[in-house]
């Protein structure tokens, strides 16, 4: 079966500190990978997607960045966190061919920036 | 641009009863995909059901079924024999079948919070 892991599950960080969230996928090769953010009481906002190693597309200009150093690893980073970066971050893998793949989500990371 | 509207912020249903959640969307495209996702208190987003616009037959998945009305741009979710574990936020989402610009995105509704009463 295909499993998505996200680490850490919960994170509290001060404003201005760096960020690194990790997403790893098991049971599949060369998956399409996605990073979403969900603010409290709102829908999902697509941040980045990747169709292969080193291939990153950004959907929203901001102080976040993403990298895909390995086939099944997707990392979300920031050099300096803002208060507005607080939220629930979800990684998803796509099943099928981009861009009509069906997305399956990981358990998420809850980020609080103080 | 495509939009997805869920007009019911909150709904409730008695255990074992049937409930229908509404979703409408706006698009000028003829080929697309529609999804219902469930987000329980754990906040993990779980795919409930998927519908291809070119298929006239409504998708079903165990106790979950959809009523897809393409001309009306309506995509409602019916949950039969509701269970306590069905309590969650339900999101409707749209995705274009065309690979261009913003069409790569899933367009999300704001969700319907479903409570299941014992």
Give B51's contacts in chain A (Cβ within 8 Å): none
Q: Closest approach of chain B CAs to the CA of A92, in angstroms?
A: 9
Give A106's contacts in chain B (Cβ within 8 Å): 44
pLDDT in tens, A29-86: 888 999 999 987 677 889 999 989 988 988 876 789 999 999 999 999 999 999 999 9
Chain A 88-107, residues with CB within 8 Å of chain B CB atoms: 88, 90, 92, 98-100, 102-107
Q: Closest approach of chain B CAs to the CA of A99, in angstroms?
A: 5
Is it true that the peptide bond before B80 is cis, omega within 30 degrees of 0? no
B42 DSSP 8-state letter? T
pLDDT at A28 > cutoff 90: no
Domain borders along chain B are 3-117
When CB atoms are compared, the residue of A43, A49, A105 closest to B111 is A43
pLDDT in tens, B14-32: 999 999 999 999 999 998 9
CA atoms within 13 A on the CB side of B91: 22
Q: How far is CA A5 from CA A89, A92, A105, B4, B21, in A?
A: 12, 10, 9, 29, 30
pLDDT in tens, A82-114: 999 999 999 999 888 777 788 999 999 999 999
A7 touches chain B (CB under 8 A): no
Domain borders along chain A are 3-113
pLDDT at B37 > cutoff 80: yes
Q: What percent of chain B is predicted at pLDDT more than 90? A: 80
Supply A100's token pair.
């009509």
The predicted pLDDT at position B97 comes to: 85
What CATH homologous superfamily does A3-113 map to? Immunoglobulins (2.60.40.10)
Give A44's contacts in chain B (Cβ within 8 Å): 45, 91, 106, 108
pLDDT at B2 > cutoff 90: no
Buried-state track B59-84, b at ≥16 Cβ within 10 A, e below 16: beeeebbbebeeeebebbbebeebee
- Exposed, middle or buried: residue A16 (CB in 10 Å: 0-12, 13-18, 19+)? exposed
Residue in chain A lying closest to B32 (CA): A100
Residue in chain B lying closest to A4 (CA): B44
Interface of B with A (CB under 8 A): 33, 35, 37, 42-47, 50, 91, 95-97, 99, 103-106, 108-111
How many C-beta atoms surround the C-beta of residue B43 within 10 A?
A: 16
Fold of the domain spanning B3-117: Immunoglobulin-like (2.60.40)
Q: Closest approach of chain B CAs to the CA of A49, in angstroms?
A: 10
């Amino acid at each position: 079966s295909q499993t998505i892991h996200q680490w850490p599950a919960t994170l509290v960080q001060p404003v201005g500190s760096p960020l690194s969230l990790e997403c790893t996928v098991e049971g599949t090769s060369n998956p399409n990978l996605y990073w979403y953010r969900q603010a409290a009481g709102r829908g999902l906002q697509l941040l980045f997607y990747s169709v292969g190693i080193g291939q990153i597309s950004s959907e929203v200009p901001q102080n976040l960045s993403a990298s895909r150093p390995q086939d099944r690893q997707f990392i979300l980073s920031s050099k300096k966190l803002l208060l507005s970066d607080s939220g629930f971050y979800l990684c998803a893998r796509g099943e099928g061919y981009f861009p009509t793949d069906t997305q399956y989500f990981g358990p998420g990371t809850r980020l609080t920036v103080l | 641009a495509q939009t997805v509207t869920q007009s019911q912020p909150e709904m409730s249903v008695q255990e074992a009863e049937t409930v229908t959640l509404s979703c409408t969307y706006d698009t000028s495209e003829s080929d697309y995909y529609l999804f219902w996702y469930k987000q329980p208190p754990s906040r993990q987003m779980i795919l409930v059901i998927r519908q291809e616009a070119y298929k006239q037959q409504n998708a079903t998945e165990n106790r979950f079924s959809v009523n897809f009305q393409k001309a009306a741009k309506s995509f409602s979710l019916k949950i039969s024999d509701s269970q306590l574990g069905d309590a969650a936020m339900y999101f409707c989402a749209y995705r274009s079948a065309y690979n261009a610009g913003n069409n790569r995105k899933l367009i999300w509704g704001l969700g319907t919070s479903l409570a299941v009463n014992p």
